[in-house]
Amino acid sequence: MWLTLLYSCSGGAALLYALYRWVIPAAVQHHGGLALMWHDVIVERMLDTVTRSTRPQRLLGAVQKNATRGDPCSVIQAIDHFCRNKEWAMNVGDEKGCILDAVVSEVNPATVLELGTYCGYSTVRIARLLPPDAKLITLEFNPDFAAIARQVIAWAGLEEKVQLVEGASGDWIPRMKEQFGVKTFDLVFLDHWKDRYLPDTKLMEECGILRKGSVLLADNVICPGTPDYLEFVRNSPRYESQYFKSHLEYTKVEDGLEKSVFLG
């Protein structure tokens, strides 16, 4: 009887593990809402409880274990491997990251504003491509995320290129000129709360930190989606926009980046 019970329990555990590790992740690969619910709510909360750590802490651990200190590319590779093979996280990801890289290289910005640092993945991607005298300011509302991002950026050896600021974008955007001595930004990467894309874009216009030719690059415009922002930049005579079709980070769900050039 005990052997039968043990076998049934072990069989049940194996089934649950298979469901968690392979079956459900495969099933949600093509459905945005389910993918976000599974990865960003269910799995994250479960692992937080089991490991008594947070996803950003686990991501940092993967960087410290697998990436070479002072090598930004190895930091990016370590995070991508962690997110594809261990635990999903809402970075811009490797596929859209190549689009981000191409835009940064094309613009060759001297001043960059990133809205939404999270764990510093996109910050590292951007900063590693900037010329020595360029300035990258990245804003993060969550202090726990900011603490992890600082360590990831430092591990990549890019702390001298990056100024990480904690707080709400709506509070900091009006203070950019006075606080940081930045007249305008050549490139703005929007990757924070999706309902802030449009109001923060309008706020940047009002505060005069966009110049003619400034480029806005917005992530996750399809999934989770930013319909009000897309409607604005695609129909405003002040912007010339282009959509780059891709996929939600580490999935097969359609997503993309919207590049919008401010025409003044």
- pLDDT of 3: 40
Instruction: Please report, in tens digits, the pLDDT of each residue of the chain (264 residues total).
Output: 444 543 455 555 554 454 455 556 666 666 667 777 777 778 788 888 999 999 999 999 999 999 999 999 999 999 999 999 999 899 999 999 999 999 999 999 999 999 999 999 999 999 999 999 999 999 999 999 999 999 999 999 999 999 999 999 999 999 999 999 999 999 999 999 999 999 999 999 999 999 999 999 999 999 999 999 999 999 999 999 999 999 999 899 899 999 999 999
- The pLDDT value given to residue 23: 55
Closest by CA to 246, choosing from 221, 215, 217, 216, is: 221
**CA nearest 151: which of 44, 73, 57?**
57
Q: Write phi, then psi, for 130 (nearest 5 degrees).
A: -85, 150
Give 129's contacts (C-beta < 8 A, 6+ positions apart).
101, 104, 105
- What angle do helix axes 227-235 and 197-207 make, rounded to 10 degrees? 40
Half-sphere exposure of 236 (CA within 13 A, CB side): 19
Return the structure tokens found at 201.
């874009």
Which residues fall within 8 angstroms of residue 33, CB to CB, at 6 or more apart? none
33-47 pLDDT tens trace? 777 777 777 878 888
Other CB atoms closer than 10 Å to residue 44's CB: what's the count? Answer: 18
Pull the structure tokens for residue 196.
Answer: 């802030």
CA dist., res. 64 & res. 193, Å (int): 28
Distance CA 120, CA 91 (A): 8
**pLDDT tens digits for 194-224?**
999 999 999 999 999 999 999 999 999 999 9
Q: What local confidence, expressed as pLDDT, does residue 111 receive?
A: 98
DSSP letter for each residue of 42-101:
IIHHHHHHHHTS-HHHHHHHHHHHHSPTT-HHHHHHHHHHHHHHT----S-HHHHHHHHH
- What is the layout of strands, in order, in the sheet containing 135-140? 162-166, 135-140, 111-115, 185-190, 210-218, 254-262, 239-247
Q: How far apart are CA 258 and CA 241, in angstroms?
A: 7
What is residue 29's predicted lDDT score, i.e. its pLDDT?
65
Report whether 134 contacts 108 (CB < 8 A). Answer: no
Cα-trace Rg, the chain: 20
pLDDT at 5: 43
pLDDT at site 16: 47
Predicted local confidence at residue 14, as pLDDT: 54
Q: pTM for this structure?
A: 0.88
At 58, list the tokens.
């686990």
Max Cα–Cα distance, the chain, nearest Å: 78
Enzyme catalytic residues: 191, 194, 219-220, 249
